[in-house]
């Protein structure tokens, strides 16, 4: 697929602090955009990144008919660590399919999966100078869709924009792999069964902001959300799925709960851990069980998994005013092993035994 390209005359490259990328702070020179009208998506084009004009009655401003994805692309490196002129996308088919899953729940029309992946590749090619080459850094792709009709009656939009922008990133958390402190919320909820929790709807993130702000004021990086009905069972962290190592076994909430995002890193970690001979169980987890395991000395590790966060060790969980320190607030051996395994696959073709990465010429 070839897409028309309008080049950005003013590169953003020089305004980037490459030693301090952070997450989602800088953006590359171009976006991909395709518009849906009269029942069809157009063929798409590449345009300069920059301000866009919308009417005040844009339905998404009012009713949040919007969902997004996040995935990463990496330079393929040779044995000496030098870029080979090829890039890798990590499991883009999974993200493209999930965009459609979210879209279906939000009454947003589906987009062909190959079309989405071609759009990603072409956009990365044109902005290839923005792919960082240090291990742990990447070019993050943010595909998203929103209703673009203008009206105030509550209904699904007739028109949509599908956009991909890209951002050179380092680690999601300011202190990289340093274990984070998480507040287990016994007050606010992120999602309920039957709602949007299993999708990557923008509205899920809006729902998490207030509880997240309160937690940050108390010195926590994130909130662990419990189920929205009984506030009893573990759901997810919002920016990540959550896993516990209890008695040597990895335990993580089952997607059957209906309120948890099916993370691409989550599914990859489960497969890698099983291949490493570790026992993994996906099931409902009452948070009290985690508390009991901690008291009995059986909770040896806890970590989040996500595209942005990769593997993020959790050094402290605080629930109802009680702090639970995990593994002396140090990264544990299982978290470290899984982190290394994911990065090895993302940066080196040789390690990718499962063909998870899609390699393409820059
Ligand atoms: C991701 O991991 O890609 C996410 O979308 C999580 C967060 C940055 C919203």
Per residue in 185-198, pLDDT (tens digit) is 999 999 999 999 99
Is pLDDT of 250 > 90? yes
Q: Which of 24, 239, 260, 265 maximizes ligand 1 atoms within 8 Å of its Cβ, making it the mutation to test the pocket?
A: 239
Question: How many angstroms separate the CA atoms of 98 and 310, rounded?
Answer: 18
Is pLDDT of 346 > 90? no
The number of the ligand 1 atom at minimal distance from the alpha carbon of 172 is: 8
- Of 43-47, 150-154, 190-194, 342-346, least confident by mean pLDDT is 342-346
CATH number, domain containing residue 145: 3.30.470.10
Question: How many angstroms separate the CA atoms of 83 and 51, rounded?
Answer: 33
**Residue 7 falls inside a structural domain:** no
Please give the distance, rounded to the nearest whole angstrom, from the Cα atom of residue 239 to the centre of ligand 1: 5
Residue whose tokens read 């987890």: 285
Closest by alpha carbon to 69, among 261, 300, 224? 261
Question: How many angstroms separate the CA atoms of 188 and 231, rounded?
Answer: 9
At residue 280, φ and ψ (nearest 5 deg) are: -125, 135
Question: How many angstroms separate the CA atoms of 23 and 157, rounded?
Answer: 31
Q: Are residues 312 and 190 in the same domain?
A: yes
Q: In this structure, are residues 215 and 275 in contact, taking their beta carbons and an 8 Å threshold? A: no
Please give the distance, rounded to the nearest whole angstrom, from the Cα atom of residue 8 to the centre of ligand 1: 27
- Compute the average pLDDT of residues 125-147: 94
Please give the distance, rounded to the nearest whole angstrom, from the Cα atom of residue 143 to the centre of ligand 1: 11
The gap from C-alpha 330 to its chain's centroid, in whole angstroms, comes to 24
- Compute the average pLDDT of residues 43-72: 98
Per residue in 225-235, pLDDT (tens digit) is 999 999 999 99
DSSP 4-71: -B---SS-SGGG--TT---SS----SEEEEEEEETTEE---EEEE-------TTBHHHHH--EEE--E
- Compute the average pLDDT of residues 63-70: 98
Q: Which two tokens stand for residue 178?
A: 């340093």
Q: Enter the pTM of the model.
A: 0.96
**Residue 274 falls inside a structural domain:** yes
Domain that holds residue 143: 13-170+348-361
Please give the distance, rounded to the nearest whole angstrom, from the Cα atom of residue 313 to the centre of ligand 1: 16
| Phi-psi sector, 88: left (phi>0), alpha (psi -120 to 50), beta | beta
**Residue 65 falls inside a structural domain:** yes
221 lines ligand 1 (CB under 6 A): no
Q: Are residues 93 and 163 in the same domain?
A: yes
**What's the domain count of the chain?**
2
Is pLDDT of 351 > 80? no
Residue 293: in which H helix or E strand, if any? helix 287-295
Q: Which two tokens stand for residue 314?
A: 């959790």
Q: Are residues 269 and 297 in the same domain?
A: yes
> Mean pLDDT across the chain, nearest whole number?
95
CATH number, domain containing residue 255: 3.20.10.10
306 lines ligand 1 (CB under 6 A): yes
Please give the distance, rounded to the nearest whole angstrom, from the Cα atom of residue 306 to the centre of ligand 1: 7
Q: Residue of the nearest CA to atom 3 in ligand 1?
A: 70
Q: Are residues 23 and 146 in the same domain?
A: yes
332 lines ligand 1 (CB under 6 A): no
307 lines ligand 1 (CB under 6 A): yes
Per residue in 52-65, pLDDT (tens digit) is 999 999 999 999 99
Q: Which of 308, 310, 312 maximizes ligand 1 atoms within 8 Å of its Cβ, making it the mutation to test the pocket?
A: 308
pLDDT band at 80 (very low <50, low <70, confident <90, very high): confident
308 lines ligand 1 (CB under 6 A): yes
The number of the ligand 1 atom at minimal distance from the alpha carbon of 265 is: 2
DSSP 221-278: SEEEPBPTTTS-BB---SSSEEEEEETTEEEE--GGGSSS---HHHHHHHHHHHHTT-
Q: Give the pLDDT score at 79.
A: 78
Please give the distance, rounded to the nearest whole angstrom, from the Cα atom of residue 101 to the centre of ligand 1: 16
Q: In this structure, are residues 69 and 142 in contact, taking their beta carbons and an 8 Å threshold? A: yes
264 lines ligand 1 (CB under 6 A): no
Say how many C-beta atoms besides its own lie within 10 A of residue 224's C-beta: 26
331 lines ligand 1 (CB under 6 A): no
Q: Are residues 35 and 132 in the same domain?
A: yes
Please give the distance, rounded to the nearest whole angstrom, from the Cα atom of residue 309 to the centre of ligand 1: 8
First to last CA, the chain: 15
Per residue in 251-295, pLDDT (tens digit) is 999 999 899 999 999 999 999 999 999 999 999 999 999 999 999
- Compute the average pLDDT of residues 329-341: 96
Q: Are residues 162 and 185 in the same domain?
A: no
Q: Give the pLDDT score at 349.
A: 64
């Amino acid at each position: 697929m070839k897409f028309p390209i309008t080049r950005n005359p003013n590169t953003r490259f020089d305004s980037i602090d490459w030693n301090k990328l952070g997450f989602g702070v800088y953006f590359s020179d171009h976006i991909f955009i395709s518009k849906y009208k009269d029942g069809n998506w157009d063929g798409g084009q590449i345009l300069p990144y920059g301000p866009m004009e919308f009417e005040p009655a844009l339905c998404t401003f009012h009713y949040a008919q919007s969902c997004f994805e996040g995935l990463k692309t990496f330079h393929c490196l040779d044995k000496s660590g030098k870029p080979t002129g090829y890039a890798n996308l990590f499991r883009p088919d999974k993200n493209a399919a999930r965009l459609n899953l979210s879209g279906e729940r939000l009454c947003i029309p589906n987009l062909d999966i190959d079309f989405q992946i071609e759009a990603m590749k072409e956009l990365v090619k044109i902005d290839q100078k923005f792919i960082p080459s240090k291990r742990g850094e990447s070019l993050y792709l943010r595909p998203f869709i929103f209703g673009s009709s203008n009206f105030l009656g509550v209904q699904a939009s007739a028109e949509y924009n599908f956009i991909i922008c890209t951002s050179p990133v380092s680690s999601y958390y300011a202190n990289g792999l340093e274990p984070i402190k998480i507040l287990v919320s016994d007050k606010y909820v992120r999602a309920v069964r039957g709602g949007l929790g299993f999708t990557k709807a923008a509205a899920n993130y809006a729902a998490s902001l207030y509880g997240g702000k309160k937690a940050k004021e108390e010195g926590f990086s994130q909130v662990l959300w419990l189920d929205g009905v009984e506030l009893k069972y573990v759901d997810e962290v919002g920016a990540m799925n959550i896993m516990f190592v209890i008695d040597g076994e990895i335990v993580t909430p089952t997607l059957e709960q209906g309120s948890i995002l099916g993370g691409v890193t989550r599914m990859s970690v489960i497969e890698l851990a099983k291949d490493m001979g570790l026992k993994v169980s996906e099931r409902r987890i009452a948070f009290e069980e985690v508390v009991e395991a901690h008291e009995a000395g059986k909770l040896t590790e806890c970590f989040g998994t996500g595209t942005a966060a990769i593997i993020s060790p959790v050094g402290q969980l605080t629930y109802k005013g009680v702090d639970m320190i995990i593994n002396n607030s140090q990264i544990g051996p299982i978290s470290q092993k899984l982190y290394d395994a994911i990065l090895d696959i993302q940066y080196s073709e040789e390690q990718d035994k499962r063909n998870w990465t899609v390699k393409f010429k820059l």
